[in-house]
């Protein structure tokens, strides 16, 4: 079946007992056993819950995966993956990832004993050079947040396979509607479901999707034993959202492309970062591995003061962290989502104090363009 049909139907969503067209919220922490250890498939909701099972099947289907594992946030999903590693292992990660990912790896995992090197994963040779005999995992964010730098997933998958390294791709920015890393050879896809999959800025959740039996067993064990799993109500909300992912993504993309062209032509804007613009240095790769360019873009103004003026003079865009909801947001990465990354480190990959990031929503695009035009005129 095709994407939108799977998004609506995958996960056996019709309730077998009542015929309810929507998956019920099984708001129960525990399940009655018929004899000691004899269950009807569920014993305790940390290990598994029917609403979560339906969601996990749906999420797996969106990425063309066999298995899905839901976690209580995107970072909890990343933490779940880390439980597959041991002290002394080495991780290579894209330079320029979400600030929270950087903070988790450098401030939580490094003291624990996992060494991470951040490299420009757009440069396959640089990744090869960063691999050591202890390297177990390559974590790639493509496009990166917020610089929209792309990595060639297929080339990295070939490299990882040759070195026995697990390739994990954070596909949050594009959603499974526009990019499917598993089809390009990745081992695991990570999502912050808080973003496009949720789509309405009303839940926090994460997920891992993959097709490997060994990882399925290991990650189900991590969910049960470490416990960072979502509750049934959150699972229901996310199931409700994924049904409309396709139509939302089409509109995010259409609006973002229009906004990107508008900003590109604005004299106050020094640079626009959007893979759908021909000026993007990886426009050709974008066409090759993505089916659309998504709703995220960043742009640079002349200095911090100009960025602050624009960020605080918008009426339709809200100044807030996060992304992927139906409403448009503006973020100042240096002062908000990436504030924990030292200035020198972020400036090395282009994230200056003059940069703003947009999560372009699905409002009427003329209102978005007018809003930006009025704010830019205040500089």
Query: What residues line the site for ligand P1T (CB under 6 A)?
Result: 73-75, 98, 100-101, 141, 145, 170, 172-173, 192, 194, 204, 206, 321-323, 331, 337
- Active-site hit among 170, 187, 353, 371: 170
Cβ closest to ligand P1T, residue 145 vs residue 328: 145
Residue 198: CB partners within 8 Å, gap ≥ 6?
205, 237, 238, 241, 324, 325
Cβ closest to ligand P1T, residue 50 vs residue 176: 176
d(CA 256, CA 280): 14
Chain centre to alpha carbon of residue 13: 24
User: Shortest gap between Cβ of 240 and ligand P1T (angstroms)?
Assistant: 18
Cβ closest to ligand P1T, residue 50 vs residue 146: 146
- Active-site hit among 42, 98, 196, 273: 98
Residue with tokens 């959740």: 205
- Active-site hit among 46, 128, 243, 271: 46
User: Shortest gap between Cβ of 141 and ligand P1T (angstroms)?
Assistant: 5
Cβ closest to ligand P1T, residue 13 vs residue 79: 79
d(CA 279, CA 109): 37
170 is catalytic: yes
d(CA 359, CA 7): 23
Cβ closest to ligand P1T, residue 26 vs residue 203: 203
User: Shortest gap between Cβ of 88 and ligand P1T (angstroms)?
Assistant: 25
Residue with tokens 């003059």: 354
For residues 170 and 101, the answer to whether their CB atoms sit within 8 Å is yes
177 is catalytic: no
107 is catalytic: no
* Helices 304-311 and 365-376, packing angle to 10 deg: 140
- Helical H segments across the chain, by residue range: 3-9, 50-62, 74-82, 99-103, 110-112, 124-130, 153-163, 175-178, 213-226, 232-242, 245-265, 283-289, 304-311, 343-348, 365-376
- Active-site hit among 52, 149, 195, 308: 195
User: Shortest gap between Cβ of 63 and ligand P1T (angstroms)?
Assistant: 15
81, 85, 155, 160 from 131: Cα distances, Å: 19, 16, 15, 9
12 is catalytic: no
Residue with the CB atom nearest ligand P1T in the bound state: 74
Residue among 130, 165, 170 at smallest CA distance from 149: 170
User: Shortest gap between Cβ of 75 and ligand P1T (angstroms)?
Assistant: 4
| Residues comprising the chain, all counted | 379
User: Shortest gap between Cβ of 78 and ligand P1T (angstroms)?
Assistant: 7
Cβ closest to ligand P1T, residue 84 vs residue 204: 204
The residues assigned a catalytic role are: 46, 98, 170, 195
């Amino acid at each position: 079946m095709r994407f939108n049909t799977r998004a609506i139907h995958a996960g056996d969503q019709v309730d077998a007992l009542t015929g309810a067209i929507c998956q019920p919220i099984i708001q129960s922490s525990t399940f009655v056993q018929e004899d000691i250890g004899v269950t009807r498939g569920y014993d305790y909701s940390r290990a598994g819950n029917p609403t979560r099972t339906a969601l996990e099947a749906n999420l797996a289907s969106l990425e063309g995966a066999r298995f899905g594992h839901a976690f209580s946030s995107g970072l909890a999903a990343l933490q779940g993956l880390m439980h597959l590693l041991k002290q002394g292992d080495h991780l290579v990660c894209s330079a320029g990832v979400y600030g929270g990912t950087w903070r988790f790896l450098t401030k939580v995992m490094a003291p624990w004993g996992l060494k991470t090197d951040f490299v420009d994963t757009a440069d396959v040779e640089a990744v090869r050079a960063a691999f050591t005999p202890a390297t177990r995992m390559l974590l790639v964010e493509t496009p990166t947040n917020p610089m929209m730098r792309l990595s060639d997933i297929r080339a990295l998958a070939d490299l990882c396979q040759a070195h026995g390294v697990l390739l994990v791709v954070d596909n949050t920015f594009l959603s499974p509607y526009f990019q499917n890393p598993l089809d390009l050879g990745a081992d695991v896809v990570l999502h912050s479901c808080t973003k496009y999959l949720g789509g309405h800025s009303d839940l926090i959740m994460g997920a891992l999707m993959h097709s490997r039996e060994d990882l399925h067993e290991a990650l189900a064990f991590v969910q049960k034993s470490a416990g960072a799993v979502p509750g049934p109500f959150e699972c229901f909300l996310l199931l409700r959202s994924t049904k409309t992912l396709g139509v939302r993504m089409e509109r995010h993309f259409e609006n973002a492309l229009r906004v990107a062209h508008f900003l590109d032509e604005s004299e106050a804007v020094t640079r626009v970062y959007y893979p759908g613009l021909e000026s993007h240095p990886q426009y050709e790769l974008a066409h090759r591995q993505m089916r659309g360019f998504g709703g995220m873009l960043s742009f640079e103004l002349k200095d911090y003061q100009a960025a602050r003026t624009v960020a605080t003079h918008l009426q339709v865009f809200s100044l807030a962290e996060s992304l992927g909801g139906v409403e448009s947001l503006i973020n100042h990465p240096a002062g908000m989502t990436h504030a924990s990354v030292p200035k020198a480190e972020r400036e090395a990959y282009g994230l200056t104090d003059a940069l703003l990031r947009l999560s372009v929503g699905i409002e009427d695009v003329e209102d978005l363009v007018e809003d930006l035009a009025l704010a830019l005129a205040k500089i």
